[in-house]
Amino acid sequence: MDGRNSKGYMWAVSAGLNAAMAAISAKHFSSWLIRYGMVIIFNVTMWGCYVNSLKALSSLQATVTNFATNFLSSGLAGLFLFGEPLPFQWFAGALFIVIGVLIMSKSSVETKESIN
């Protein structure tokens, strides 16, 4: 993986974390003004990070990395911040998502390289 790809993945992970933070803000803050303000700020930041990830990665790589990061961080935030139970099936599903992201990213890179 070259420097451009690693920066792209960092942007995609950042986008996923910001998306999760938007969801956490919507649930955490009691004041509606702060709640919606934080949701807007995190979503705008998420889109900026996502666009930057698209400059270095394929849309597939950027999207699945963003999705996986959002899914994992939202679930873990629910567990640690809000005391929501996560059954074994959630962890099994999370593992399958991560494996799928790795397979899709790898196959996307190989296909792109073989075309060029």
Mean pLDDT computed over every residue of the chain: 89
Q: What are the boundaries of each domain within the chain?
A: 3-115
- 49 in Cβ contact with 14 (< 8 Å): yes
- CA dist 17 and 53 (Å) reads 13
Q: What is the pLDDT of residue 111?
A: 45
Band of pLDDT at residue 66, cut at 50, 70 and 90 = very high
- 62 in Cβ contact with 16 (< 8 Å): no
pTM of the predicted protein model: 0.84
Percent of the chain with pLDDT over 70: 90
Nearest residue to 60 via CA among 96, 21, 111, 14: 111
The token pair at 9 is: 């993945």
